């Protein structure tokens, strides 16, 4: 059984859906509200639905697969090659519709568990990045007062009590308290 290819450009509130009706040959490009998106596909024969692998795509792919549709997530750079003209939601949906029909490596749909692990990794990475920024900021601020210390968190942890004690005598208490909090 040949599945009807459908291109879906997902967004925050309005999704753009593009396909060619297999019976009439009519080109259909339709806006569908987020709240009505699953309802739109619940009443259709199984389709081959193409989407860019972006924020929310894995969620929608899981939901559509539960309804019996086949979903192909594609990298944005793969889809971009099929976009003709100016970038707009209808043009993007048409490009996705063209791309889903081409052979190419699909992005595998992740389970909620897999996404949870990736989210934990991303959050930890963000915390490490923030900590590094904070250490560098403290080093820079303290250098303004002639207190230079080695790079890295360990060097800062070692030197900070001595440095703060040294500059506490000559700088406002509010600054010293804020530096201690950092």
pLDDT one digit per residue (tens) for the chain, 182 residues: 689 999 999 998 999 999 999 889 899 999 999 999 999 999 889 999 999 999 899 999 999 999 999 999 999 999 998 988 888 899 999 999 999 999 988 999 999 999 999 999 999 999 999 999 999 999 998 999 888 888 888 888 888 888 888 888 888 888 888 888 88
- DSSP state letters, 126-141: HHHHHHHHHHHHHHHH
Domains annotated for the chain, with CATH where assigned, are 4-110 (3.30.420.40), 113-181 (no CATH)
pLDDT at 75: 94
Cβ atoms 65, 22 nearer than 8 A? no
Cβ atoms 153, 134 nearer than 8 A? no
pLDDT at 1: 67
Longest CA pairwise span in the chain (Å): 84
- CA–CA dist 74, 78 (Å, integer): 7
Cβ atoms 69, 40 nearer than 8 A? no
């Amino acid at each position: 059984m040949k599945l009807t290819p459908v291109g879906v450009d997902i967004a925050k509130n309005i999704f753009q859906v593009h396909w060619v009706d297999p019976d009439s040959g009519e080109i259909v490009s339709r806006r569908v509200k987020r709240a009505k998106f699953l309802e739109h596909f619940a009443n259709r024969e199984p389709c081959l639905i193409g989407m860019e692998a972006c924020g929310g795509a894995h969620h929608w792919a899981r939901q559509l697969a539960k309804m019996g549709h086949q979903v192909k997530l594609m990298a944005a750079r793969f889809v971009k090659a099929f976009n003709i003209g100016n970038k707009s939601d209808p043009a993007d949906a048409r490009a996705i519709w063209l791309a889903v029909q081409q052979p190419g490596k699909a992005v595998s749909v992740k389970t909620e568990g897999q996404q949870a692990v990736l989210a934990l990794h991303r959050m930890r990475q963000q915390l490490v990045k923030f900590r590094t920024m904070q250490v560098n900021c403290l080093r820079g601020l303290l250098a303004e007062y002639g207190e230079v210390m080695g790079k890295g968190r360990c060097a800062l942890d070692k030197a900070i009590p001595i440095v703060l004690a040294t500059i506490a005598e000559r700088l406002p208490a509010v600054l010293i308290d804020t530096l201690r909090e950092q």
